[in-house]
Chains A and B, each alone.
Chain A
Amino acid sequence: MDKSPHEWMTPTFVPILQVRPESSDTFSIELESEHFPSPGQFNMLYVFGVGEVPISVSRAKASRYIHTIRSVGAVTQALRKLKTGDLVGVRGPFGRGWPIEKAKGRDLLILAGGIGLAPLRPILDEAARNIEQFKNVTLLYGARKPSDCLFKEDWENWERAGINILATVDATETNWNRSVGVVTKLIPKVKFDPANAISFVCGPEIMMLFCVEALNNQGMEEHNIYLSMERNMKCAVGYCGHCQFGVDFICKQGPVFPYPALKSRLKVREI
């Protein structure tokens, strides 16, 4: 992005092209954009006078992209109230995303929990478009309940393209013919070649830790596992200090990291 220095702290206002509910507490907004963020990158979204939050890009198309947001607090609730045509302040894209090139020619396991599917959707889109460039591509998805599962309308396309989807919920409702339980339980069901496989994981930190352990048990080597980290962020350009995770600034060195880079710290409490 070609911006002069302090424009990095200055949002550009763009209109919302479309709003779309995704589940009871989650929605997507589509924005016009001159940038084409890479999968796993995020923007800072600002609601007039309310505040600014980091939100991943959940789909990028030519000249527009989509953010999928779970409304949990002040800013995300304010975002939820916006309608088509309303303006949102955008800064970004920021951070280092998923190393998709490394996944080509290999088995790719995508593990997501809840809203964690949002930053991984661009990877699934890419895999579906160019499935022949990958070996087996599998999505393992865990959500609280069936109606919380995100992007159900995409699942069919992904499956048709050859992506294997295994989903599980904590509590079932009607019309659910997939699994119940934690997402890690699905891992042994996936056939992959540990010597030639890679895994992208995004979800709550504790879920990611269990995923790493389960992947490890199936023979996946640690350096082939990538996680997307979350910390408070105020500037997203490496100055505010909030997103520090030990020596790393998550906004700059991350949010996506190879597991070995995080390993020693993930087990430290309150770091």
Chain B
Amino acid sequence: MKETLYSLDIGDFERLLTVIQSHFELYGPTVRDSAVVYEKVETTRDLPQGWVDDQAPGRYRLEKTDSPLFFGHVVGPQSWKKYLFPAREQLWSVKKESAQVKRSANPQKPMAFLGVRSCELAAIEVQDKVFSHGTQPDAFYHRRRNDLFIVAVNCTTSSRNCFCTSMNSGPKCNGNFDLALTEVLDGAIHRIVVEVKSKRAQDLIAPLHLKTPSPAEIAAAQHAVEENAKTMARSFSTEGLKESLQNSPDHPRWNKIAERCLDCANCTMVCPTCFCSSTVDTTDLTGDNAERWRQWDSCFNLEFSYIHGGEIRKSTASRYRQWLTHKLANWWDQFGTSGCVGCGRCISWCPVGIDLTEEATAIQEGQE
């Protein structure tokens, strides 16, 4: 489909959210407990208008400004995987008496995500591959994914931990989305330029009779994203990195990192591509009904690699090595893509500020 552009004022934007909600359950960014998180949103008032984030290794701070921008922040501690691949979900239940297994279906209204950044589009694409590569596609994931409506946002700002330009994942949205928004500010005039990518998005917004943007608005939107790309603070060279990591299991740097790493697993929880899970089998108090749940797990947990006789990865060094090597190297062999999209979450949310780009570079360069 040929891309079509529109220009929205705040009233139009409000009506856009309404029309989306007539077909989808809408989720978007909102401020909770001093962080931008993804929750159900209904109106533009739920969005983090004016909030900006200050991120650095081990640091995430929100600040309220008088900017009218709805998307002046970047990524927070949560990612969209919380909806596509929930932290905990029931797979099935069974009654002892009948031994009839009931598969969990949780029928739900199709979801729409508002404010998906380009790195997050890339992360969703990565998880699409992950959850298709097994013996069979993972039906729990794909059931939610298939109907998903995506309203992306082109980032016009980035944090000190963002490195999407290095990972070819942004800041301009190129992946699979239905609509992509770019906020432009010209003095006091705040408009949103919308790119329509899908037929269903075109049909959805048709009743809104949106305005065509002026050439100046289009140019301003493009410029804002390009400027952001040019000024992105962090860069990360991945050339030859896969081989370096795979050939360096005994590098002394792993032990060095282990002196700082707390094994807290934060990095894997916030990462939008990490997919490891565990199953938990439970019974109710009567013992007559059993359930199986699937919940996020992490390669930083000691029990993760447990087999009878002891855990395989006992040392922190081996667990960090597993994480980083998987993410930046083995992922290529397994799924034909990097496991890192450059969102910087693991850097911001590591309590001791371990920076994967720094560690990977050190290993590649042979630094101790």
Instruction: Give A224-250 as 1s and 0s: 1 = Cβ < 8 Å from B's Cβ atoms.
Output: 000000111011011111101011010
Q: How far is the CA of A244 from the CA of B304 in the complex (A)?
A: 11
Is B138 touching A234 in the complex (CB atoms < 8 A)? no
Is B290 touching A232 in the complex (CB atoms < 8 A)? no
The answer to whether A48 has its CB under 8 Å from any CB of chain B is: yes
Is B278 touching A10 in the complex (CB atoms < 8 A)? no
The answer to whether A65 has its CB under 8 Å from any CB of chain B is: no
Q: How far is the CA of A259 from the CA of B330 in the complex (A)?
A: 19
Q: How far is the CA of A125 from the CA of B322 in the complex (A)?
A: 39
Contacts of A104 in B (CB 8 A): none
Number of A-B contacts (CB under 8 A): 118
Is A9 touching B275 in the complex (CB atoms < 8 A)? no
Contacts of B326 in A (CB 8 A): 244
Known contacts A6-B138, A8-B136, A270-B318; A49/B277 CB under 8 A: no
* Min distance, Cβ B10 to any Cβ of chain A, angstroms: 43
The answer to whether A134 has its CB under 8 Å from any CB of chain B is: no
Is B134 touching A239 in the complex (CB atoms < 8 A)? yes
Q: How far is the CA of A240 from the CA of B137 in the complex (A)?
A: 13
Instruction: Give B212-227 as 1s and 0s: 1 = Cβ < 8 Å from A's Cβ atoms.
Output: 0000000000000000
Q: Count of chain B residues with Cβ under 8 Å from any Cβ of A?
A: 51
Is B135 touching A237 in the complex (CB atoms < 8 A)? yes
Contacts of A10 in B (CB 8 A): 91-92, 101, 103
Is B276 touching A49 in the complex (CB atoms < 8 A)? no
Is B334 touching A7 in the complex (CB atoms < 8 A)? no
Is B249 touching A247 in the complex (CB atoms < 8 A)? no
The answer to whether B232 has its CB under 8 Å from any CB of chain A is: no
Q: How large is the interface on A (under 10, 10 to 19, 20 to 34, 35 or more residues)?
A: 35 or more
Is B134 touching A52 in the complex (CB atoms < 8 A)? no
* Min distance, Cβ B171 to any Cβ of chain A, angstroms: 29
The answer to whether A94 has its CB under 8 Å from any CB of chain B is: yes
Which of A12, A239, A271 has the most C-beta atoms of chain B within 10 angstroms of its own C-beta? A239
The answer to whether A268 has its CB under 8 Å from any CB of chain B is: yes
Is B333 touching A232 in the complex (CB atoms < 8 A)? no
Q: How far is the CA of A241 from the CA of B131 in the complex (A)?
A: 11
Q: How far is the CA of A45 from the CA of B282 in the complex (A)?
A: 15
Q: How far is the CA of A247 from the CA of B136 in the complex (A)?
A: 19
Q: How far is the CA of A48 from the CA of B134 in the complex (A)?
A: 26
Contacts of A8 in B (CB 8 A): 134-136
Contacts of A52 in B (CB 8 A): 279, 281
Contact sample, A vs B, 16 pairs, CB 8 Å cutoff: A6-B138, A9-B92, A9-B294, A10-B91, A49-B282, A49-B283, A232-B312, A234-B277, A234-B279, A237-B134, A241-B297, A242-B278, A242-B305, A244-B322, A246-B246, A271-B312
